[in-house]
């Protein structure tokens, strides 16, 4: 497989999707943040002074997915048809797992939008809780699956 974001001179270009078929496309990305017990408890009980951490993070993730083309230079501007952020908490490991599902009917996929949504949702959790824990760890951000288009992917 060749890289498509470079021209014959090695310069970065936006991929021309003019000839591609319009299909329903979905991408799901995941990531996690590991926090200390104080942060985990504060999120669980709604005691974070800045407010509803997971609610704010979900909103931020959706907003970020919609603005992906403004952040990543070669991404196409896409009219998203749906974006959903979900969280799964693991009290034993003090982890909050984040999933971002993005959908579009278009000529190119929404993997970058899903990855951007997860990243910003997790960064929002960090921002809202950093007064309680300077050692939070964001990691394992990856694409879980994508459907539509030529190449489907399922981890």
Residues in the chain: 155
DSSP assignment, residue 47? -
Residues known to be catalytic? 127
Query: Could you please report the per-residue DSSP string of 88-111?
Result: EEETTTTEEEEEEEEEEEESS--H
**Kind plus residue range of the DSSP H or E element containing 83:** strand 82-90
CB 68 within 8 A of CB 116: yes
Tell which residue, 29, 45, 61, has the closest CA to residue 126: 61
């Amino acid at each position: 497989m060749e890289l498509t974001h470079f021209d014959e001179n090695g310069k970065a270009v936006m991929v021309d999707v003019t000839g591609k078929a319009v299909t329903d496309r979905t991408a799901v990305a995941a990531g996690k943040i590991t926090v200390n017990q104080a942060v985990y408890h504060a999120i669980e009980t709604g005691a974070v002074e800045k407010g509803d951490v997971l609610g704010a993070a979900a909103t931020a993730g959706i907003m970020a997915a919609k603005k992906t083309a403004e952040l990543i230079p070669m991404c196409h501007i896409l009219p998203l048809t749906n974006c959903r952020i979900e969280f799964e908490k693991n009290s034993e490991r003090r982890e909050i797992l984040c999933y971002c599902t993005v959908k579009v009917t278009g000529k190119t996929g929404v993997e970058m939008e899903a990855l951007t949504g997860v990243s910003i949702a997790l960064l929002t959790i960090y921002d809202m809780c950093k007064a309680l824990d300077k050692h939070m760890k964001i990691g394992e951000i990856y694409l879980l699956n994508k459907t539509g288009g030529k190449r489907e992917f399922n981890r």
